């Protein structure tokens, strides 16, 4: 990926104390139910050995899945100097127009209208997406597409 999309802070930028927008894309309730169900499968696998081993396996599996879900939860942060979506950070001077999509339009943006060079930070449990154009001439990435539960607030922060 181009340097402006790297997971480290953008060049010549300093951390800003002013955060205009921040959102963590936490898993929804039904994702946690799926994790509980998958962990429960540990009981079925280990119950023939012993019931205690089955419940222990289920608990360990759930803890592993919970840690993975929590550590892989991306954050969207907008400051006066940078935009960070997940592991990617770009200077705000390279951020162009931003557009929000919901429902069928969001599905089309994630599917048939998707450019293969776009940077994606999409979560299946979050329907709305925001498309942020990238104006950096040295960056081949045409835009970033990110899931967000608060697209209007993100757009307002990007327009500040």
Residue 2 has pLDDT above 50, yes or no: no
Question: pLDDT, tens digit, for every residue of 54-96?
Answer: 999 999 999 999 999 999 999 999 999 999 999 999 999 999 9
pTM to 2 decimal places? 0.77
Which class for 143: exposed (0-12), middle (13-18), buried (19 or more C-beta within 10 A)? buried
Check: CB of residue 148 under 8 Å from CB of residue 127: no
Distance CA 111, CA 48 (A): 44
Do the Cβ atoms of 146 and 85 come closer than 8 Å?
A: yes
Which helix (H) or strand (E) segment holds residue 52: the answer is helix 51-71
């Amino acid at each position: 990926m181009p340097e402006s999309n790297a997971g480290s802070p953008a060049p010549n930028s300093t951390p800003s104390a002013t955060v205009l927008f921040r959102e963590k894309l936490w898993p929804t309730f039904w994702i946690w139910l799926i994790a509980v169900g998958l962990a429960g499968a540990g009981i079925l696998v280990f119950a023939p050995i012993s019931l205690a081993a089955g419940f222990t396996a289920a608990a360990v599996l759930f803890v592993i899945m919970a840690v993975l879900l929590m550590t892989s939860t991306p954050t969207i942060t907008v400051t006066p100097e940078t935009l960070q979506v997940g592991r990617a950070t770009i200077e705000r001077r390279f951020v162009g127009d931003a557009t929000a999509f919901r429902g069928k339009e969001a599905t089309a943006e994630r599917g048939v209208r998707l450019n293969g060079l776009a940077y994606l930070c999409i979560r299946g449990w979050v329907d709305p997406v925001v498309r942020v154009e990238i104006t950096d001439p040295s960056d081949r990435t045409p835009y970033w597409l990110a899931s967000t539960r608060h697209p209007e607030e993100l757009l307002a922060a990007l327009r500040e």
